[in-house]
Amino acid sequence: MSEAVERNYDPGDVAIIGASCRFPGARNKEQYWDNLLHGREGVTFYAKDEIEVDETLINSPAYVRATGALDGYDEFDPAVFGVSDRMAAAMTPEHRVFLEASWEVMEDASYDPERVRGEVGVYASTNPQSAALYSSPPDWVSAGPEVMDRSNAWLPDTITSNVLYYLGLTGEAVTVTAVCSGFHYAVHLACQSLLLGQTDMAIAGGVMVRLPQRRGYLWEEGRILSRDGHCRPFDANGTGSVLASGVAVVLLKPLPQAVADRDHIYATVKGTAINNNGISAMAYGLAQPERLSACIAGAMQAGDVAPETVSMYEANGFGMPITDSLEVHAAHLAFGKQSGTCSIGAVKGNIGHAGVVAGGSGAVKAAFALYHRSLPPTINLTELNEEIDFPRTPFVPQLEPAAWQPECGIRRAGITALGGGGYNAHLVLEEPPRPVEREPENRRPRIVTLSALDDAAVSRQRAALSSWLAEHSDARLDDIAYSLNLGRKALPSRWAAVISTRDELLEVLSGDGKSGRVSRFGQERRADLARFRRTEDGLALGSGDEMRDVQALTELAAAWVQGERVNFEVLHADERSHRISLPNYPFARRRFWRTDW
């Protein structure tokens, strides 16, 4: 009987088994979480001569020279995906950023797309305006190869199908248009497809690259943009948010299957809900409390979650007194009258408003808060808005970082996203299942592999893995080997080591290992292929004894380094190793920009 059946997991739960994101001030998910935990703001303030546009407005006293910029938004590593430089330049920045994030999310979950068996759906939201700002639409008078290539590089519709194509996957590809609630809508649709059995795994996310990056905005009284370039959620002096760019992607799988597959789980999706205000008494685009409340309650009902068990609420939190008041009122209606039990925060204070991926910035924050059992602070909140009577609500503003210790004994979070046009969306997440107790790993020789497009990238991988090992002293060697051997695409430049302990791995990563135990870039030794049996999925050792023999494993490692396919599934078949999150591929990004066609 599988672990999933033994532990009776809810068949309606969906696991988040991988995550990737880039936001203002953070080039990866680790830096993003560190910034949130330490209350750092990622908004950039520009000097006048740094602004790329708006020459006629820049001297206006109402012009605010601030934005949540995305570092490296114009860079890409096309060689990893087999994309030509010409095609890379034709791709919009959002297509490129989302493609790299999708690669990273598969790696983070330790899944090699070439080994994935089954359907992988891709659901994403992107800003249609960015494509038009980047370049003009394709010339539809012609339907020749250049026009078709440019269409696939330009159209928002193809941002999801490109992921399937360039990663070598099959499945559904759906581009979602739901304005600033787009990320939540993508997750909602992905979960439905998974639970209906239409897909086996799902990539869901959103991407926003505002063009041009180096610009500010004109502040207008009563509108949604901040007077001084700072977003102040729930603050009496809040005047709105700041425009930002970013990308957030998660990899999803039904929870029982994820547990059975020994996946790395950040959090579980308990329930999702979407709706729209339609016609309402509120101004078009503002939150309608009754409709938003119904959406929040619907997500909790879908996951059979009692409101009193939700102890973190990640708000849309625009930083305007009226919008924040309406949202808190709506959430209060959904949660009921219990008081002082739920932390409330909003990530827009850190990074601004990232449009279609704004909900993703909150969802990744909540998933990592659940995984690390920590509550990050809401920054720029110094004077509570008195129109929000927090003592009469279940919500307590999270002003300082804190350990997450819920009274009900289980950690759950609700994340709201709102979109202009009356779009409402809500996700309910729960902490990951507690890991099953395992026997201590035995001291046996293991193969550890790394590969990249060139030797320089392999060297960067070795350095990154060495640093990671130093920071994760509790990581098991069997999990590391399993995740690298089965969870990474085999690229031309390869490195492998046969080791028995973490200390040995650290030694060989630094280049100090014994040459008889290590194969570097295929130059140390030539393998004797005659000793291996050949399977459909590559070379394999013949017996259990051989799989524990240093010499046999070294020969197998050498064969892999020389470019042979190795059946690592056979090598790990007798283990109960788990997939874990390890450092991502070190993209060699170069600047690409539009070209004349």
Pair 191, 272: CB distance under 8 Å: yes
Residue listed under structure tokens 């695409």? 489
Residue 77 to residue 101: CA distance in whole angstroms: 12
In tens, the pLDDT along 301-324 reads 999 999 999 999 999 999 999 999
- Predicted local distance difference test score (pLDDT) of residue 265: 98
Among candidates 480, 466, 467, 496, which has minimal Cα distance to 560? Answer: 496
Q: Which residues contact 288 (CB under 8 A, 6 or more apart)?
A: 277, 280, 281, 282, 326, 330, 422
In tens, the pLDDT along 94-142 reads 999 999 999 999 999 999 999 999 999 999 999 988 888 888 888 777 7
Residue listed under structure tokens 């309650």? 297
| Whether residue 330 has pLDDT greater than 90 | yes
Banded pLDDT at 8 (limits 50, 70, 90): low
Q: Which residues contact 539 (CB under 8 A, 6 or more apart)?
A: 529, 532, 533, 556, 559, 560, 564, 565, 566, 567
Pair 89, 595: CB distance under 8 Å: yes
In tens, the pLDDT along 261-285 reads 999 999 999 999 999 999 876 777 6
Between CA 51 and CA 59, with CA 57 as vertex, the angle to 5 degrees is: 85
In tens, the pLDDT along 486-518 reads 999 999 999 999 999 999 999 999 875 444 455
What ranges in 176-239 are assigned the alpha helix state H? 182-195
Among candidates 243, 182, 204, which has minimal Cα distance to 101? Answer: 204
| Domain annotation for the chain: domains and CATH numbers | 12-135+145-230+238-428 (3.40.47.10), 444-570 (3.30.70.3290)
- Predicted local distance difference test score (pLDDT) of residue 148: 85
| Tokens read off for 108 | 């983070």
**How many CB atoms sit inside 10 A of residue 148's CB?**
12
